[in-house]
Amino acid sequence: MSGTMRAYRLLKAGRMPEVVEVPIPEPGPGQVRLRMAGAGLCHSDLLVIHADPPFFPLPLTMGHEATGWIDAVGPGVEGLTLGDAYGVYFSWGCGSCRACVKGAENVCERAGLTPGFATGRDGGMADYFIVDDPRHLVPLGSLDPVEAAPLMCAGITVAHAVRRTAALLEPGSVALVIGVGGLGHLAVQVLKALTPATIIAIDRLPAKLAQATDLGADHVLLSGSDSAAEIRALTDGRGAALVLDFVGNDATLGLAAGTLAQGGRLEIVGVGGGMLPIRFHTMPRDASVGTPYAGTLDDLRVAVGLAQDGAVQSDVLRVGYAELAATYARLDAGEIKGRAVLVP
C-alpha cells in the first residue's frame, strides 16, 4: 500500500512531538504491519520527550503501548489473518540469547543492540506501524483493542512486578500501592486477582483514591506527612509485605522503606529519580528491593488473560491526535485518571 499517514513524532530534543504526514511503512521480510487501534500515553513517554540529548535517534514515532489489526505481512510471515486484533510486546530483544529464549526479552543480553518499539524504532502512535516479528504479537481475542492497549506496557509491567513477588503475600499480608495512575489502577486489580493480600492504595489526588476503592482496594490514603504512621496503624505495626512504588521519588521511596515489613519486598517501578540509601539498618531486616522493567512474554499473556477473564479492566480516556500535547501536559500534572489512549 502506498500513501501517507499521520504519525506523532519526536523530531527534535527538548520539543514536544508533532503530528506529521509520513509514508505508510512497508513490512520487510519477517515483519508485520498493523493498523492502529489504540496507543496508550505512558508516564515514561515524558522522560523520552524531555530527554536532551535524546535517548534515541530522531525522528522517532512515539507509542510503546499499542494494539491494532493485522494489515499486511512481509515475505516469510505465515499464519496470521488480516483483520485480526493483536497487542504488541514492546520490549523487543534479539530473540536468541539465553534471556530471550525464555521469553524474558525485557532483560535481553543484547538489549543495547536491538532497538525496541518506540525505543529506537518507530512506535504505535501512527495510523499504521511495523512490528519486527510475529513473536511480539499477542492475540486479543474478544477484547476491545482500545481498552486492551494499556495492557501492553502498564499491564505487563504490573503483572511482572506482582507475579515475581506474589509468594510473599499470604492471607493477612498487606500490599501497598503508591500512585494510582495508569499502572497503579491496574495494580490494584492484578493484586486482587492473583494474591490474597489486603490492599492499601495511596495517592495525592482524591479522585484516584475513589477509583482505587471502586477497583477493590481495602484501604485508601491521601498522601501526606502522616502516611507512614497511618500505614503502620492499618497493618498492626507490621508494615507491608509488598510495596509497589509507581512514583519513585525521594518522598515515596522514603515512605516505602519506612512502611515495609521485615522480610518484605519493595518494587521500584516508578522512574521518579529518587534515591534510596540501602545498607543494614536503613531497611527492615531481611528486606529486598527490585527495579522491575516491563515484563516477559508470559507476563503479557497473563495480563491479557486477566482482562479476558474480566478480572482486570483498564479505565480508558480516548483522545485524538490533536489532543495529544494537552493530554501529555495533564499526565505530567498527574491529572489523568486511568490511562489516556490515542485512537485514530
The minimum distance between CB 81 and Zn ion, in angstroms, equals 28
State yes or no: residue 340 binds Zn ion (CB under 5 A).
no
Cβ-Cβ contacts under 8 Å for 312 (sequence gap 6 or more): 151, 155, 186, 189, 190, 193, 303, 306
Helix (H, G, I), strand (E, B) or coil at 264: strand
Nearer to ligand NAD, 35 or 136 (CB): 136
248 is a contact residue toward ligand NAD (CB under 6 A): yes
* DSSP code at position 173: -
Interface map 286-305 toward ligand NAD (x if CB under 6 A): ------xxx-----------
Are 245 and 268 a contacting pair, CB within 8 Å? Answer: yes
**316 touches, from Zn ion, ligand NAD, none (C-beta below 5 to 8 Å by class):** none
Q: Looking at 153, 197, 200, 300, which residue binds Zn ion (CB under 5 A)?
A: 153
C-alpha cell at 57: 535517534
Q: In the set 140, 143, 180, 304, which binds ligand NAD (CB under 6 A)?
A: 180
Alpha-carbon span 335 to 56, nearest angstrom: 27
The contact mask relative to Zn ion for 40-79 (x = CB under 5 A, - = no) is --x-x-----------------------------------
Tell me the residue number closest to ligand NAD, measured at CB: 181
Query: Does the protein bind ligand NAD through residue 223 (CB under 6 A)?
Result: yes
41 with 335: CB under 8 angstroms?
A: no
Does position 179 interact with ligand NAD (CB under 6 A)? The reply is yes
Quote the CA–CA distance of 131 and 124 in Å, as a whole number.
9
At 20, list the grid cell.
506529521
Q: How many angstroms separate the CA atoms of 297 and 100, rounded?
A: 9
Q: What mask, x for binding ligand NAD by CB under 6 A, covers residues 323 to 342? A: --------x--x-x------
Binding mask 17-46 for Zn ion (x = CB under 5 A): -------------------------x-x--
248 contacts 267 by C-beta, under 8 angstroms: no
- Of 136, 203, 211, 265, the residue at the interface with ligand NAD (CB under 6 A) is 203
| 31 vs 114, beta carbon nearer ligand NAD | 114
Residue 166 per-residue DSSP state: G
Q: Are 49 and 17 in contact (CB under 8 A)?
A: yes
Positive or negative: CA dihedral 229, 235, 238, 239: negative
Binding site for ligand NAD (CB under 6 A): 42-44, 153, 157, 178-184, 202-205, 208, 223, 246-248, 251-252, 269-272, 292-294, 331, 334, 336
